[in-house]
């Protein structure tokens, strides 16, 4: 087996989807789905099709710009679909794709874990801050 350079090893790792490599597409996807707005949007769409305005009201603190950018990135990644209905005003709906649905149980599990363990995290923070 021939010896490979570090650059060749990095290229191979990127092709093999090694998220520890900076160039790996899976790493970029992990970065995307780890975003708080992505998680909240996916959870918001768990109940089915939602209008933009409904998502905006449901997700406290998200700006119009951030919601729009995040929805576009999720659509680009194939996790949601966007449906425009010509009317006055124009109606825009979003819903999870099959790929988005497959990610949902993982996001829901993280939400459940965070909500169940928040008291322990608060206690740990208090202990740490008291030092």
Show me where the domains of the chain are located.
1-33, 36-130
Partnered with residue 115 across adjacent β-strands are none
Q: What pLDDT is recorded for position 70?
A: 97
The pLDDT value given to residue 3: 83
**pLDDT above 70 coverage of the chain, percent:** 97
Structure confidence by residue, pLDDT tens digits, 75-99: 999 999 999 999 988 899 999 999 9
Give the C-alpha separation, 62 to 59, whole Å: 6
* pLDDT value for 1: 59
CATH of domain 36-130: 1.10.10.10
Confidence band for 37, pLDDT divided at 50, 70 and 90: very high
Average pLDDT of the residues of the chain: 91
The pLDDT of residue 23: 79
The DSSP code sequence of 21-78 is STT-HHHHHHHHHTSHHHHHHHHHTTTS-EEHHHHHHHSTT--HHHHHHHHHHHHHTT
Q: Does 128 have pLDDT greater than 90? A: yes
Say what the pLDDT of residue 10 is: 72
Give dist(CA 110, CA 113) in Å, integer. Answer: 5
State how beta strands 91-96 and 50-51 pair.
antiparallel
């Amino acid at each position: 087996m021939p010896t490979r350079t570090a650059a060749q090893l990095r290229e191979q790792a990127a092709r093999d989807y090694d998220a520890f490599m900076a160039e790996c597409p899976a790493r970029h996807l992990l970065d995307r789905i780890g975003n708080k707005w992505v998680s909240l949007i996916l959870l918001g769409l768990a109940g089915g099709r939602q209008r933009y305005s409904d998502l905006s009201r449901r997700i406290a603190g998200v700006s119009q710009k951030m919601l729009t950018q995040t929805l576009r990135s999720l659509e680009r990644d194939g996790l949601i679909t966007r449906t425009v209905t010509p009317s006055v005003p124009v109606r825009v709906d979003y819903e999870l794709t099959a790929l988005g649905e497959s990610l949902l149980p993982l996001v829901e599990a993280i939400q459940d874990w965070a909500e169940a363990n928040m008291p322990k995290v608060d206690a740990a923070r208090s202990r740490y801050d008291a030092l």
